Structures are given as structure tokens and as C-alpha cells.
Amino acid sequence: MLGKLTLDAIPLSQPIPLIAAAVVGLVLLGVIAWTVIAGHFPYLWREWITSVDHKRIGVMYCILALVMLIRGFSDAILMRSHMLFAYKAPGYLPPEHYDQIFSAHGVVMIFFGAMPFMIGLMNFAVPLQLGVRDVAFPTLNSVSFWLTASGALLVNVSLVVGEFARTGWWPAPPLSEATYSPGVGVDYYIWAIQISGIGTLLSGVNLVTTILKVRAPGMSYLRMPMFCWTALASNLLIVAAFPILTATLAMLALDRYLGFHFFTDSQGGNSMMFMNLFWAWGHPEVYILALPAYGVFSEVISTFSGKPLFAYRSMVMATMAIFILSFMVWLHHFFTMGPGGDVNGVFAITSMIIAVPTGVKIFDWLFTMYGGRIRFHTSMLWSLGFMLTFVVGGATGVLLAIPPADFVLHNSMFLVAHFHNVMVSAVLFGAFAGYAYWFPKAFGFRLDEWWGKVAFWFGISGFVVVFGAFYILGLLGMTRRMQHYDVADWRPWILIAGFGVVLMLVGVVAQVVQLVVSIRRRESLRDETGDPWDGRALEWATASPPPVFNFAAMPQVHGEEAYWTIKAAAREQLSLRNEPDYAPIEMPINNPTGVVCAFFATLIGFAMIWHIWWLAVLGFLGAFATFVVFAWRDKAEYEIPASEVQRINRANRTTRLEALQGVGRRRAA
Amino acid sequence: MSATASPGLAPGHDPYHLGGSRDGRGDSAATGRGAGGPAPKRIVVAYGFWIFILSDIVMFAAFFAAYGVLVGGTADGPKPQELFDLTHVALETGLLLLSSFTCGVATLALTARRMALFQAMMAVTFVLGAGFLALELKEFADLIARGAEPSRSAFLSSFFTLVGCHGLHVGIGLLWLLTMMAQVLTKGFRDDILRRTACFALFWHALDIVWVGVFSVVYLLGVIA
């Protein structure tokens, strides 16, 4: 009846996961209980859970990402603190638990921290920057989000029910095969990633279609803000790369469930094929994450330097070059497979070439700042921190791309330092920069600057200390994923890395405090006009938070930097554009298809993990029924009357006009 | 806010040095491509579905690649030329290609708003697709009965997965086909139903294209080798 699921699945003998899970569970239950008792649930259901508004979905993606980043960071704290006690000693985490923690850390950070954050920012900002009302497929967007949340839920359920994979963040066979990993850990991995992967793929399809087919009139390709270009490249990569991951994990699942021989290294199977397939997805994935972050930096640096982006066309070229090249370097993840000098040589050269367009971007950002009036807002600090630290990560990447060097450094702490160096400084700093930059657009008030700067300085110093120490540990010969060690030379650097984590923890706490403080002081941080940073793209042309329809009338784009052009004219004449002719607007109706569908997907995933076949069938029927019910609806859109559009738009015009008159008064004085 | 009401843009505002600016307000006649505003819903939906189909084909490409790598991994078990029966496969191919034709006729019937013809052609498409699926399942059953089951060798694992994945797509397509018949029957020729049926047709034809790949790479090459 319940497949492999018995009471033994709950790790009653292991206090750490149990306590962690109990705390998380209590907090979660507490939050749910509070929302229900305080009567917020109907509001949440109507306005958020069932929302098909790209802005709300983007915000929910970012909230999921922030929560998961904290989860992943707590794994990191466990690992680093364990290592403090693991010198000539077993430490406090038994090996089988330690292995689960480093696996979960990678999975959570990549799939449920970094990915949702980037997709959330794209979801939120891209339609606004393109000057349109929503993404191409609003309900599909909601399905994507909730499938991602479903995957995140499954990974966290593995804390309490059963176990997580002990294979590392990529489940390398034959270790991940049923022979060597008979438990449910790898199955949790497979189904969590498959479900959230479908969500990611659908979100990629959605955003590609949006960027290529749904733009405001006049918004030609070479007038799109840089963030839209990087989002386009990133989502094209999602569409081209995620199906490979789906296929690869399907093969691994068939090996495990039905005794197939794809990767078993017996009966003709080939485990290196897994490596090739996995990294054919995995390397593009690096750029799926990094490219949107590059877009955020482009927006932030241009805005806070008060200048147009330098050499926009070279930036577009560099973005698309990275998009193509990212599919040609995957083999550098396993030079040590031994495919021969020629093959390794080719991939070494392509890996070095891909650093060139990234270098072009760095120079473009530098020249954007050159001669500008730079304002050191938190998001600008994150961008500058990125540029400084990312160059080091890029340089060590080129170093690792040399096969003879890679043979020495492969799977060492140097490698761990390298990929954290690039992932944290590009993706995480980019995410934080985007968070600080677009927060007022999403909520109508700015984030507190002082706490933001505290978070930045502690975050970046902790990051440099931890991964600086990792580089040195790697050069001293320490390999990754060690559960304990007895080399005296490593000891000081491990202690330093432990101290670095404390600094990062202060940064994380400051980030949380910043949010709390900002919410409490929201009246004084209010963004009245909708353009708090003197921005240049169309998202700043509407109110903060934008009305559900984004723009009262679809903007007509004239020239590059769509909003800057409008604003420059307004400042010159000290008057706003003429009021548009208000017309009723049709918007899609919120519906629970996404959340219901994800509920059934979670059932399918859980059932497959525990071999509860009847439940899997039930889940599939439920999901199909959900789609049929959705497809049967007769009314997909509702109408916002012209008078309501007028009222909302006039309110924003009033504050903007006041701001403009302020400019006029200052000019007169 | 209309196209004409953009007075006083900074003259020659051309921050990205894209040239143009011939009308003196940075609003060059040469706006570049894609300045026409949002595409109509029909285009957007079909375009999005094309992107999805391309992603699906990438997934098949991964299974094809795996088959290409593992086809030699027979582990002293049966080899492709000992297993495949081209007559059987030709019959399967015939059914599937024919179903694509009837699906095309159904699309035309929809455009002509001829309900009875549409339903009839979709029903024929269903029968042909189900026939294809039945033949494929029979082939699988025969192979397994002869000891050539997927767990026998890596070659057979990748064969069953590649062909089975296509079969799974046909199965889901059949489910979708029935849904569309019911939708057109109850909802009539509504715009959203027409768009959805167009997507279904795209899906069904794409399965044909994938099958041509399966037929050539798996069966034809298998028998020749």
C-alpha cells in the first residue's frame, strides 16, 4: 500500500536533521496557522497563490529563492563548523550525513536558490522593460513557479522522511546506481529536479516567446534594455539545455527503477556518458544563471553612473557569443576522463575563448562608469564587488581550463573555490543587486541603505576570506568533500574559512534585518514617483508598485533607452507627456491551475520516490484533469474599465508632476 | 503617447551609436527589426508551442545520442540485425504517416468550419495512432518474450527508451486528441479552441518527424549493420 515507506524512514536516531526539520516544520506551521487565524488566507489565495500576474509570480520566485538560500547557507554553516572539529577527529557529523549535506547544499543553492532568484527577476522586470502587460502565457507562468516550489518541497521533505542523495550535487553513476545507492536519496534528487526542471523549461519557453513576440511598438531588438537581451540568451539556453537534463535523469531513473543499463558500466553501459550528458546541460546552466546577472549589472551600473551603457552593441554581441560558446566547453568538467590530448586541447581552447566575451563585458561596464556621476547605492556596491572578485574567478577558470593544470587541481578545494568564486560573485551578487534595485518597483518603498551596506561589506569580506582560504587549501593538496583530515598545514586555513563563514552569517542576518527595518520604516522610504533611481528603462515609467496592467496605455518606443528619452523631454519642457486616451484593459483572470497542478506533481514525485504506484497514477490523472478543467473555462479575461485605468494613472501623474515641478523650482533658484 | 506625439526628444539622442537619427529626433526611420508591437495571440501561441517542440526535439536528441553511444553495447546479447523486422516497422510507419495526413485534413476541416468532417478525421487519426501504438507494444512484447528485454544490455536499454519515449508521446497525443475532439464539439469554433487545435496538429506532425529519425537511425541502420 505505501511502497517502501515505513516508519523507519523517519530518522528518529539522528538528532540534527530531526531538530532542524522540527524547527522548519514548526515555523512553517506557525506561519500557516497565523495566516489562517489572522484571516489572511483568502487574500493570499486570491492575490498571490492563484495569481497569474508576472510581477507577483516574480516576487514569489524571489521569496522562494531567499528562503532556499538560507537553507543552503545553513548547510554551509554545518559543513564549515564540522570541519573545525574534524582535525584528527571524526567531527560531529557522521559521514553518511555529511555526504547528504554537501549534496543538498549544491542542489539547493543551484536549483532552488540561484535559479528561482534569476527567473524571478526576469519574470518581474522583463515585461515591464518591454513595455507590455504580462508575459506571453500568464497561467503557464504560474504553473512554472509552482512546479519549482514543488521540487523545493520534495528536497526539504527528504530531511524528515527518508534521506537525501549522498552523491554530490550531480549524481554521478555508478555511485548513484541502485547497487551503490540503494536508498531513496538519489530518487529524491531525481524527482525533485525533474519536476522543477519541467517548471524551468516552461518558464524558458514563456520568456523566449515574450521577448521575441510580445514587445511594445517601436521596441526593436536593438532597443531592448540589456537585461532583456541577457534574459533572452538565458532562456534560449534553458530551452536548449534543460531537456538534456530531463533525458539524462530519466535514463538514471530507468537504471534505478527497471534495471536498465545506461550508466551501470556493466552489460555495455557507460558511466562516462552520464558525465557528457550531464555537463552538456551543466555548463550552459552556468550561463543560464550568470547571464541574467550580467544583465542586472548592466542596468545597475548604467543607472547609477548616470550614463547610457557603453558599447551596447558589443554587449549584445558578447551575450550572444556566450550563449553559443557555452555549449562548446562541457568537456572541461572532466578532462581527467582521458579522452586524449586532441580532444582535451580543443575543449581547453574553447574554454579559454569563452572568457573573451566576458572580458568584453567587464570593459564595457568599466567604460560605462568612466566619466559618470557614480552613486554608491547598495546595488552599485554589489556590482562593483562583483567586478573585482569575478575577475579573480575568471582568471582561475582560465587556469583550470589548461588540462595539465586541471589534472593536478581536479576535484581539489581549488576547484571548489573557483566555482564558488564565479557563482557567488556573479549570480548571488547579481541577485542581491537586482533585489535592491527593483525592490522599490515591486513594493513601492526602498530598502534601508545602511543595513544594505552592512550586508554588502560583511557578505563580500566573508566571501573573500572563505574562498581565498579554499584556493590555498586546494594548492596545499586538499581534495573536496573530505569528512575529516589530519594534515597540520591545512588547519589554519580551515580555521580562517570558519571565521569567514561567521562574517557571511553577519551579512545574511543584516540582509534579513534590512528587510524588517525597511518594512517598518516604509513610510519614510516610500517611492512616490515610481522612478527612485533616475532610471533609464521603461519599468521606471510606471508607478511603484505598478498597477496590475503595468501601463495605462502601451508605451510607444522612440529610440534607445525608452524611458530616458521620454524623461529628458519632460525635464526640458517641465511637463509630462500628454495624457493617453484611456481605454478599457483586458487582463487574464487569476486561477489555481498552477498550484493544483503542482500539488499533483508533488504527489507523483513522492509516490515515485517511495514506489507507491497507485498514488503516482492518481497524481497523473489529477494533473490531467486539472488541465482539462482549465481548458474548459469559458472566460479567460476580465475587463478593467477605462475610468479605473484613468484614476490609477492620474494618481501617478500627479506625483510625477510634483517631482518635475521640484526640478523646475531648483532650476529657477 | 501615440507615434506622432513625441515632441522634443533630445536631438540626435543615439546612446548606443546605432546610427540613423535622420529625422533629427533620434527616432530613426531605420528602427531595426521587430518594432511592430506585440504579435497577435494566434502567432504568439503557435510560436511558443514551436519553441516547446524544439525543446522536446532536444530531449529526443539526447536519447538518440545515448542510442548512438550504446548501440554497440550488446553484452553478447542480441544485436540490432537479429531483432528488427522491417515489414512490421513499415506497417507502423505507414499508420503514423497516414495519421499525419488525416490530422492535416482535420485542420483544413476546422478552417472550413466543417464539424462533421473534423470529427471524422480526428477519429481516423485516433484509430491510426492507436494502431501504431498497439503495433509498437506488440513489438516490445515479442522482443521481451524472446529474451531481448531492456535490462539485457545497454543497447536494448537505449532502444526501448528511445522508441518508448516516442510511443509515450504518441500516447499523450492520443489523450490530447480526444480532449480536442470533445472541446471542439462542446465549445465550437472559438478562437482559443482553434489555437489549441493548431498546437495539437503541430505536436502530432512533430512526432512524425521524430519517427522518421527513429526509423532511419534505429531500424534501417540497424538492419543494414
User: Alpha-carbon distance A469 to B82, whole Å?
Assistant: 59
Contact A152, A559 (CB under 8 A): no
Contact status, residue B9 vs residue B27, Cβ threshold 8 Å:
yes
The string of pLDDT tens digits covering residues B135-148 is: 999 999 999 999 99
Q: Which residues of A touch B52 (CB under 8 A)?
A: 202, 205
Over residues A7-18, the pLDDT tens digits come to 888 877 777 777
Q: Average of pLDDT values for A604-633?
A: 95
Q: Is the Cβ of B172 closer than 8 Å to some Cβ of chain A? A: no
Kindly state whether A277 is in contact with chain B, defined as any CB-CB distance less than 8 angstroms.
yes
Nearest CA in chain A to B185: A632
C-alpha span between A489 and A487 (Å, rounded): 6
Q: Do B8 and A215 touch (CB under 8 A)?
A: no
Closest CB from A217, A254, A632 relative to B161: A254
B21, pLDDT greater than 60:
no
From the list A424, A455, A423, A426, the residue with the least C-alpha distance to A439 is A455
Q: Which of B33, B58, B175 sits opposite A243 (nearest CB)?
A: B58
pLDDT, one tens digit per residue, over A122-169 is: 999 999 999 999 999 999 999 999 999 999 999 999 988 889 999 999
Q: Given a cut of 70, is residue A95 above it in pLDDT? A: yes
pLDDT of residue B16 exceeding 80: no
pLDDT in tens, A509-519: 999 999 999 99
Q: Could you say which of B9, B61, B155 has the minimum Cβ distance to residue A268?
A: B155
pLDDT tens for A397-418 read 999 999 999 999 999 999 999 9
- CB distance A220–B32 less than 8 Å? yes
Smallest Cα distance from A515 to chain B, Å = 36
Instruction: Kindly tell me if the per-residue pLDDT of B111 is higher than 50.
Output: yes
Nearby residues of A20 by Cβ (< 8 Å), 6 or more positions away: A74, A159
Is some CB atom of chain A closer than 8 A to the CB atom of B29?
no
Judge contact between A137 and A209, C-beta under 8 A: yes
Asked if the C-beta of B85 comes within 8 angstroms of chain A's C-beta atoms, the answer is no
Gap between the Cα atoms of A76 and A230, Å rounded: 30
Contact A268 B75 (CB under 8 A): yes
Using the predicted structure, report yes or no on whether residue B2 has a pLDDT greater than 70: no
Q: What does the pLDDT average to over A425-442?
A: 97
In chain B, what residues touch A208 (CB-CB under 8 Å)?
Answer: 48, 51
The vertex-A421 CA angle with A415 and A425, nearest 5°, equals: 160
Contact B31/A at CB under 8 A: yes
| For residue B3, pLDDT beyond 50 | no
pLDDT (average), residues A467-494: 96
Over range A513-538, report the average pLDDT: 95
pLDDT bracket for residue B23 (50, 70, 90): very low
Interchain CB contact of A632 with B (< 8 Å): yes
Q: What is the pLDDT of residue B14?
A: 66
Q: Which residues does chain A have within 8 Å of residue B35's beta carbon, measured at their own beta carbons?
A: 217-220, 223, 557
Region A326-353: what's the mean pLDDT? 94
Amino acid B90: pLDDT = 95
Nearest to A213 among B43, B54, B175 (CB): B43
The CATH number of A288-527 is 1.20.210.10
A385: closest CA of chain B, how far (Å): 26
* Mean pLDDT score across all residues of chain A: 94
List the single residue in B5, B17, B63 with the smallest CB-CB distance to A247: B63
Q: Widest CA span of chain B, in angstroms?
A: 81
Q: Is A556 on the interface with B (CB under 8 A)?
A: yes
User: Which grid cell sits at A100?
Assistant: 547528504
Alpha carbons A407 and A598: distance in angstroms, whole number: 43
What is the model's pLDDT at position A505? 97
C-alpha grid cell for residue A318? 558578447
Q: Which residues of A touch B150 (CB under 8 A)?
A: 254, 258-260
B39 and A558 within 8 Å at the Cβ level: the answer is no
CATH code that applies to domain A1-269: 1.20.210.10
How many other β-carbons are positioned within 10 Å of the β-carbon of residue A623?
A: 18
Q: How many CB pairs under 8 A join A and B?
A: 216
What's the pLDDT at B19? 52
**For chain B, what percent of residues have pLDDT higher than 90?**
81
CA nearest neighbour of A110 among A69, A171, A76? A69
pLDDT digits (tens, 9 = 90+) for A98-131: 999 999 999 999 999 999 999 999 999 999 999 9
Beta-carbon contacts of A666 under 8 Å, excluding residues fewer than 6 positions away, are: none
Fold of the domain spanning B41-224: Four Helix Bundle (Hemerythrin (Met), subunit A) (1.20.120)
DSSP H helical ranges for A541-641: 562-573, 593-609, 613-631
Give the pLDDT score at A10. Answer: 80
Residue A217 main-chain phi, psi, to 5 deg: -60, 135
Q: Is the pLDDT of residue B68 over 50?
A: yes
Asked if A272 has any chain B CB less than 8 Å from its own CB, the reply is no
For the record, the C-alpha cell of B184 comes out as 471542439
Which of A229, A215, A224 is CA-nearest to residue A559? Answer: A224
What single-letter DSSP state applies at residue B189? S
pLDDT at B24 over 70: no
Check whether A419 has a pLDDT greater than 50: yes
Contact A136 B37 (CB under 8 A): no
Using CB atoms, pick whichever of A214, A220, A309 lies closest to residue B44. A214
Quote the cell numbers at residue A546.
505598478
What are the cell numbers at B104? Answer: 492535416
Cis peptide before A174 (omega within 30 of 0): yes
Cα separation, B128 vs B132, in Å, equals 6
- Of the candidates A205, A216, A244, which has its C-beta nearest B37's C-beta? A216
State residue B12's pLDDT score.
54
HEC profile of A265-312: CCCCCCHHHHHHHHHHHHHHHHHHHHHHHHHHHHHHHHHHHCCCCCCH
Q: What is the pLDDT of residue A475?
A: 96
Distance from CA of A200 to the nearest CA of B (A): 12
Is some CB atom of chain A closer than 8 A to the CB atom of B192? yes
Residues of A in contact with B43 (CB under 8 A): 213
Distance CA A58, CA A64 (A): 10
Question: Could you tell me which chain A residue has the CA closest to the CA of B161?
Answer: A251
Domain with CATH 1.20.210.10 in chain A: 1-269, 288-527
- Partner residue opposite B154 with nearest CB, options A239, A261, A580: A261
Identity of the residue numbered B215: F
Q: Which residues of A touch B196 (CB under 8 A)?
A: 631
Residue A666 predicted with pLDDT over 60 = yes
Flag if B38 and A132 touch (Cβ within 8 Å): yes
Surface-to-core class of residue A41, CB atoms within 10 Å of its CB (0-12 exposed, 13-18 middle, 19+ buried): middle
Contact A565 B10 (CB under 8 A): yes
B22, pLDDT greater than 90: no
Nearest to A277 among B36, B62, B73 (CB): B62
Q: What is the pLDDT of residue B20?
A: 47
pLDDT for residue A530 is more than 80: yes
Establish if A600 touches chain B: CB-CB under 8 angstroms: no
Alpha carbon distance A202, B37 (integer Å):
23
Question: What pLDDT is stored for residue A422 in this prediction?
Answer: 96
What pLDDT score was predicted for residue A450?
97
Instruction: Please tell me the predicted confidence (pLDDT) of residue B8.
Output: 42
pLDDT, mean of residues A288-294: 97
Alpha-carbon distance B63 to nearest alpha carbon in chain A (angstroms): 7
Of A11 and A465, the one with more pLDDT = A465
- The reported pLDDT for the residue numbered B9 is 46
Higher pLDDT, A16 or A527: A527
Percentage of chain A lying above the pLDDT 70 cut:
100
